[in-house]
Chains A and B, each alone.
Chain A
Amino acid sequence: MAEEELLERRAIRLAATAADRADAIRQCGETFVEIGATDGSYVDAMLARERSVSTYIGEGVAIPHGTLAGKEAVRRDALAVLRFPDGVDWDGERVTVCVAIAAKGDGHVALLAALAEILMDPDQAAELRNATEPDQVLQLLAPMREGSAS
């Protein structure tokens, strides 16, 4: 068991459906709770963050994560990737992939930088939006996992 893995295979869900943005965020948070990365209160922190400012970053990708206050609910740094093939309305933008982040310190900054680099390549962004196999996601996001190990 690789419990210390930042992105676990079981935290990748590629055929999710959500009624709306809050539902999508809740599912991301519940994934963290299921894999033991956060307490349940992190879900509320993620919803609070989203009310404060949209976590949409472009290329059909949003990065739900908690507020600073929500960090206490984080047990270990983790990512969750939820793909919504039907799309989710995200304050006027269409989101097909959520890369949810749970991070204790400021490790999320390096994670986001790595994710942004990936998405700035249109081919890689499209591959992530259309991924149907967890292996594709693990391979695409490998730079994020490596970046966090340092």
Chain B
Amino acid sequence: MPSRTVTIGSTSGLHARPAALFVAAAAAQPVPVTIRTGEKKPVPARSMLSVLSLGAKHGTEVTLEAADGDGAQEAVDALADLLEQNLDAEESTAS
């Protein structure tokens, strides 16, 4: 099963703007991807409320997973790369 564990790179954590970008990217993937923190229950990466409920801050480790299938590894990789970036960067000029 394709899986990757990454740390949240966004300064403000996985909320508002970073979460919105992440959820949109997850919805655009050809396969469903789940996200979880630690050993907690995986939740759908394309659900905003689910993603917010994780309460993932900057530096929190999260694990992305998808069922085996065409494009599954690529989907997990694309979303993992996104989480590692600082999605706040373009607006955090004064912080």
Contact = CB atoms under 8 A, between A and B. Distances in A.
A71 B95 contact: yes
Identify the interface centre among A63, A109, A112, A113: most chain B CB within 10 Å of its CB. A109
Interface of A is mostly: helix
Nearest to B58: A106
Contacts of B88: 68
A9 B24 CA distance: 35
A59 interface: yes
Interface in A93-108: 106, 108
Contacts of B15: 108-109, 112
Interface in B81-95: 88, 91-95
- Chief secondary structure at chain B's binding surface: loop
A51 B4 CA distance: 32
B53 A120 contact: yes
Given A58-B48, A68-B91, A106-B58, A63 B53 contact: no
B6 interface: no
B52 A113 contact: yes
Nearest to B11: A68
Nearest to B18: A53
Given A58-B48, A106-B13, A68 B55 contact: no
A110 interface: yes
A132 interface: no
A27 interface: no
B56 A109 contact: yes
A49 B95 contact: no
Interface in A18-50: 48-49
B20 A119 contact: no
Contacts of B12: 68, 106, 108-109
A58 B53 CA distance: 13
Interface of A: 48-49, 52-55, 57-59, 63, 65, 67-69, 71-72, 106, 108-110, 112-117, 119-120
- What are the nearest 8 A-B pairs in CB distance? A113-B55, A116-B52, A69-B94, A116-B53, A109-B13, A68-B95, A53-B17, A68-B92
